[in-house]
Amino acid sequence: MRLTTKGRYAVMAMLDLAIHDHGQPTPLADIAERQSLSLSYLEQLFARLRRNQLVGSVRGPGGGYQLAREPAHINMAEIIHAVDEEIDVSGCGGRGDCQDGSRCLPHNLWMGLSAQIQQFLESISLADLVDQPDVLELAADQDGRLQQVRGQRDAAAAAGMRGVGS
């Protein structure tokens, strides 16, 4: 199985959203900054996540995204599938045409492995990840860096405004 950046970033963004879900929508720009992801790429991913009813959006000032369900009721496989990722290591998508139009010798092995990966990802919820102390520690570090960057940006903007009228 080759999980592309689409699947990895979707899981990362959904985990960030779950960690920062305090009853208020989370702006995608905040997720993008904390996770060092492209805002436009996140917008594409969240459109797919919204279509698959994993997140809901709130428009306007103070808007952003919220989880559509409790973190305990959203599993990793759902997130990955929502962004059109396949959990398949067979190379043929399960069709059985892996070797010159017919099944390869280890076809059943690869299909079994795909099923195991699917079950594993289904068994892990966002809540399971949010409850891990190292995940919360990393999130706190990211929040601190984000506040520091915003403080520096605000200070630079204030200094620039003082210089304009001088």
Q: In this predicted model, what pLDDT tens digit does every residue of 48-78 receive, in sequence order?
A: 999 999 999 999 888 899 999 999 999 999 9
Q: For residues 13 and 92, what is the distance between their CA atoms, to the nearest angstrom?
A: 29
Question: Tokens standing for 63?
Answer: 């808007």
pTM of the model: 0.83
Q: In this predicted model, what pLDDT tens digit does every residue of 100-148 receive, in sequence order?
A: 888 899 999 999 999 999 999 999 999 999 999 899 888 888 888 888 8
Which residue has 């984000």 as its token pair? Answer: 146
- 27-36, 71-80, 88-97, 125-134 — which is least confidently predicted? 88-97
Are the beta carbons of 28 and 65 closer than 8 angstroms? Answer: yes
Q: For residues 149 and 104, what is the distance between their CA atoms, to the nearest angstrom?
A: 53
Instruction: Indicate left, alpha or beta for 53 from its phi (over 0: left) and psi (-120 to 50: alpha).
Output: left
